[in-house]
A and B are shown apart, each in its own frame.
Chain A
């Protein structure tokens, strides 16, 4: 008798997990309904509770520990051992005769390996994943540790591409367009140009890259547009136009690099041409004066 009700309770729970209501389950086992009902209601209550999630600090701390562990395993596996003893090697580390310096160097090395491991671990995460904040934090650190303005601009382009990949991943998973990621993708591409000084001799190469990135983004957006919810299509259309305009302007800039005004587009939407005599020499500020973004 007791085994019967235990089995019936389990069957009802499985049925509820498949979508049946408590009443539907009880209808099949009406003779046990009075016993089963309060237990099934309790199950429903427990399953409706919000689920706890670890804090971002805890996740970061765990990942750092994992990074340390990976680093430790890597170092251990790479240390050659001969007959139970470490082989004496002449290496870069022998340069440090002083233990303090050696410790400092080891700590710095470990820190770098941990950072690298954490970055790799979170590389494929998308918004909603617990590792995503770590990915963004790693990007910020990477950007802050980059001092060359050309490399900073390149990083911005990389981030823009990452946002696009994430937007596609989210779209594939949920069928919904993440407009925040779309905006960030456009913003990063904008900042690649606006926030950094590009040396004049590299300007046309960089313009080619930007043109390519914008054209690629436009293609991708055009491909996903038919599958996007009609209410979001206007946003996609605006983004497609923006990418197209940027790409065209960059192509033109590439071709006429020395003649285009950094003041941006004229009233017709075409790039303004500035006489060579008015151009600044040496490094060009592709900064806030560049009003190519609407």
Chain B
């Protein structure tokens, strides 16, 4: 199993935040360096277009910088909450929030030179399946299996109990398993 994304030590993160709040641009750079890819991955699996993922990531970084002085409590929870709100606003702006299900039918081809075609297909398949889950289920799956957070940390981010997170995780995986099975069946029928 691939190791999940490692996080900064709490002490290092705390010091970094103190430096960022004191307008230390190098610290801002370090913070961006660490969180920008995480935020991007979090958004990537939950929006329709890759350009939207990049734009929203940029917006989240700006929002973080603008309101860093007001940040309290868990930084991870705070930054992912900002990202979640941005995604919600994004769908609200485009008036497609009520038809999130249809996103799966029109996931765009991703023009990313860094990945091979097979990798892209797998990423797309996951995006497509994820887009058919509820918002909470998507958050839990991405935070747990893409970002490697623990259940209690995810509970902190989405503001639910650990029992609730486990239930969401179980339902999400069961739904995805069904979807993967159905896709497998369709592929087999296509071959035959």
Q: Given the complex of chains A and B, what is the CA–CA distance between A16 and B113 in angstroms?
A: 32
**Does B115 contact A52, Cβ atoms closer than 8 Å?**
yes
**Does A59 contact B36, Cβ atoms closer than 8 Å?**
yes
Q: Given the complex of chains A and B, what is the CA–CA distance between A204 and B174 in angstroms?
A: 74
Among A19, A54, A125: residue with most chain B CB under 10 A: A54
Known: A70-B28, A124-B26. A10 touches B141 (CB 8 A): no
**Does A9 contact B173, Cβ atoms closer than 8 Å?**
yes
Q: Given the complex of chains A and B, what is the CA–CA distance between A121 and B23 in angstroms?
A: 11
- Is the contact region of chain B dominated by helix, strand, or loop, or is it mixed? helix
Known: A46-B141, A61-B58. A124 touches B146 (CB 8 A): no
Contacts of A38 in B (CB 8 A): 177
Q: Given the complex of chains A and B, what is the CA–CA distance between A2 and B28 in angstroms?
A: 45
Known: A10-B151, A58-B57. A70 touches B29 (CB 8 A): no
What interface size band does chain A fall in? 35 or more
Known: A120-B25, A121-B29. A53 touches B169 (CB 8 A): no
Contacts of B66 in A (CB 8 A): 69
Contacts of A48 in B (CB 8 A): 1-2
Q: Give the distance to chain B from A69, nearest Cβ to Cβ, in Å.
A: 5
Contacts of A65 in B (CB 8 A): 58, 61-62
Chain B interface, number of residues (Cβ within 8 angstroms): 51
Q: Given the complex of chains A and B, what is the CA–CA distance between A14 and B166 in angstroms?
A: 12
Whether B122 is near chain A, meaning CB under 8 Å from some CB there, is: yes
Within A57-92, which residues are at the interface with B (CB < 8 Å)? 58-59, 61-63, 65-66, 69-70, 73
Question: Chain A interface (Cβ within 8 Å of chain B)?
Answer: 2-3, 5-7, 9-10, 13-14, 16-17, 19, 38-39, 42-44, 46-55, 58-59, 61-63, 65-66, 69-70, 73, 117, 120-125, 129-131
Given contacts A49-B122, A54-B37, 16 further A-B contacts (CB under 8 A): A2-B170, A9-B173, A14-B150, A43-B145, A47-B145, A50-B119, A50-B122, A52-B110, A58-B54, A59-B36, A66-B28, A66-B61, A66-B62, A70-B23, A121-B26, A131-B29
